[in-house]
Amino acid sequence: MDKSVQAMDVKNPVDQLTCKEEQLATVSFGLAFAALSILTLMSALDATSLSIALPRISQTLNTTAIEAFWGGTSFLLCSSVFQPIFTAFSHIFGRKSMILISVVLFFVGALVGSQAQNAVHFLVSRSVQGVGGGGIIALTEIVVTDMVPLRDRGRWFGILRGALVQRSTWRWLFYINFPFIGLGLIFVVIFLRFKSLSSNWRSKLARVDWAGSVIFIASSSAFLIPLSWGGIMYSWSSWHTVVPLVVGAVGIVVFGFYEKHVAVEPIVRLSIFKTCTAIISYLGTILHGMILWCVLYYMPLYFEGVKGYTPILSGLSCLPMTFTVAPAAGVVGIIIAVTGRYRHTIWVGWTFSTLGLGLLYLLDVHTPIALWVCVMIVGGTGLGILFPSMAFAIQGSAVDADVAYAIGMFSFFRAFGQTVGVAVGGVIFQNRMRIELQKYPKFAPLAAGYVQDATALVEIIKSMSDSVEKSNLKQAYADGLKPVWATCCGLAGIGLVLSSWTKAYSLDRGLVTEQAFQHRKLRAGRSRHEIAQLA
């Protein structure tokens, strides 16, 4: 009787071990993903928050307007250019190694920036941070493809997308990174484990596409830099702008030829562009990046220049859009994971984006709060829906061996679109603002100088006392932004039309990767076999 009771009460030791392993696997996975979220939040926060503090930084370090401009631009440029490099290197040297290198570079940049005493130190720090930040953004998205099967990635991509829309003055903008860096490093070292790549460092270095990397960095930098300074440092017709653009474009063509016909292990696999869905989705990603960054750049200027809000209040006023993107991305990611379908969410996302961005045209000097809040919620929802939706279309259309490369290019094209978006918005704003200012006799002679810098014009408006001239300048600023909103709406409409050719690919695919995520092993005095023998 006693023996039978014992047999009923005591569980099988193997079952106990399996249960404990599953619990540890769940915890280690969660903590590993927490590390990715922390790092993504850190990089995104740094990329988006510094622009608010640039006037104060410029005053403290006695920088010129151009140097202050490059302080905000250098991060984005380096981040964009180096993302494909980190993607390719992670296949050779391993995901974890490249993530750690990215975090260290980001830390070095933050440390130098926090102690910067002149413009040179500041610009160097931002460039180094940009390289590290680009690696973090690209690799955290790639790592998800090593951790989760395709269909289930929506739940986890939604969390990472949410981290991309958060915001955080001057040296504290660098100091605040240190806790994130420390916590992220600890979690990465302890919990982020991948299957080891079986080769020595000499063979790994031999596999690197050094020539392709140099051509890509040089050509993409030559193309993106004039897009950033066009209309600000130099006119768009200046040779300083035209020549680098042409050289960069030619260099990109040369890079594509080299990767296809010469490179043994290319940093960009051209096979990811073979399907119509992939091409359309990458074009959509560029459009999405252009729209998102253009709106995020010019919306605060509307609130400061037209509404007269302080920088803090301006940031708070953008919350209806920025804080809508994250929940929308998270919810849609879950929906895709449950249904296994992404085409309808892409169409809904572009529809909401087109509607919301079109309604931005209503923004004026006297637009009531309730109206612009509702308009921004609609636009933010649409832009948020597109984050995970297009990522799934790109992954679904790629073969298993190319998924990591495909998601890496998704990250690069989004960053590329962001750079182009601000440039396009600047050209449109300058041209329209010049026309609007020429309507007022007092401002017509000053139009050429006023339109050079949208941010500086905001400070001019704020420094004016209340008068008819100030009201006219506010109205001109609001009217100057209207074509920017209309262009964003048109780009979203193009995205909607293009998305109609998106094909449905099955998301029910297993986890196929050379660097599979390894759960932490259970530390036990006895092996599973030994415990089974005891049972």
385-411 burial: b if 16+ Cβ within 10 Å, else e: bbbbbbbbbbbbbbeeebbbbbbbbbb
- Residue 495 CA, chain-centre distance (Å), reads 19
Please give the pLDDT value at position 161: 39
Output the CA torsion 475→469→370→321 (10° steps): 60
Please give the pLDDT value at position 22: 47
Please give the pLDDT value at position 514: 61
CA distance linking residue 74 with residue 84, whole number of Å:
17
Q: Strand, coil or helix: what is 164?
A: coil
CA distance linking residue 255 with residue 263, whole number of Å:
10
Please provide the size of the chain in residues.
Answer: 535
* Inter-CA distances, 305 with 94, 167, 361, Å: 48, 20, 16
All residues at 6 or more sequence positions from 433 whose CB lies less than 8 Å from its CB, including other chains:
447, 450, 451, 454, 457, 476, 477, 480
Residue 433, both tokens? 């603002």
Please give the pLDDT value at position 345: 95
Residue 391 sits at the vertex; the CA angle it makes with 390 and 393, to the nearest 5 degrees, is 60
Report whether 353 contacts 383 (CB < 8 A).
yes
* Inter-CA distances, 322 with 269, 308, 316, 482, Å: 33, 20, 10, 20
Residue 359, both tokens? 């309604």
CA distance linking residue 511 with residue 103, whole number of Å:
27
CA distance linking residue 456 with residue 436, whole number of Å:
17
- Which ranges of the chain have pLDDT less than 70? 1-30, 32-33, 41, 44-59, 63-69, 71-72, 144-176, 193-199, 231-232, 452-454, 509-535
Which conformational region is residue 170 in: left (phi greater than 0), alpha (psi within -120 to 50 degrees), or beta?
left
Report whether 500 contacts 283 (CB < 8 A).
no
Please give the pLDDT value at position 507: 78
Residue 281, both tokens? 């989705």
| Chain position carrying tokens 């990250």 | 411
Residues 353-391: pLDDT tens digits?
Answer: 999 999 999 999 999 999 999 999 999 999 999 988 998
Residues 480-531: pLDDT tens digits?
Answer: 999 999 999 999 999 999 999 999 888 776 655 665 555 555 444 444 443 3
Residue 523, both tokens? 């530390």
- Residue 476 CA, chain-centre distance (Å), reads 32
Please give the pLDDT value at position 258: 92
Report whether 398 contacts 368 (CB < 8 A).
no
Q: Strand, coil or helix: what is 488?
A: helix
Report whether 416 contacts 287 (CB < 8 A).
no
| Chain position carrying tokens 């440039």 | 423
> What domains lie within the chain, and their CATH numbers?
12-201+519-535 (1.20.1250.20), 209-264 (no CATH), 275-504 (1.20.1250.20)
Q: Strand, coil or helix: what is 150?
A: helix
CA distance linking residue 221 with residue 278, whole number of Å:
24
Task: With CA atoms as reference, report the closest residue to 109 among 167, 188, 187, 178.
Answer: 178
Report whether 163 contacts 40 (CB < 8 A).
yes
Please give the pLDDT value at position 9: 41
CA distance linking residue 29 with residue 85, whole number of Å:
27
- Residue 270 CA, chain-centre distance (Å), reads 22
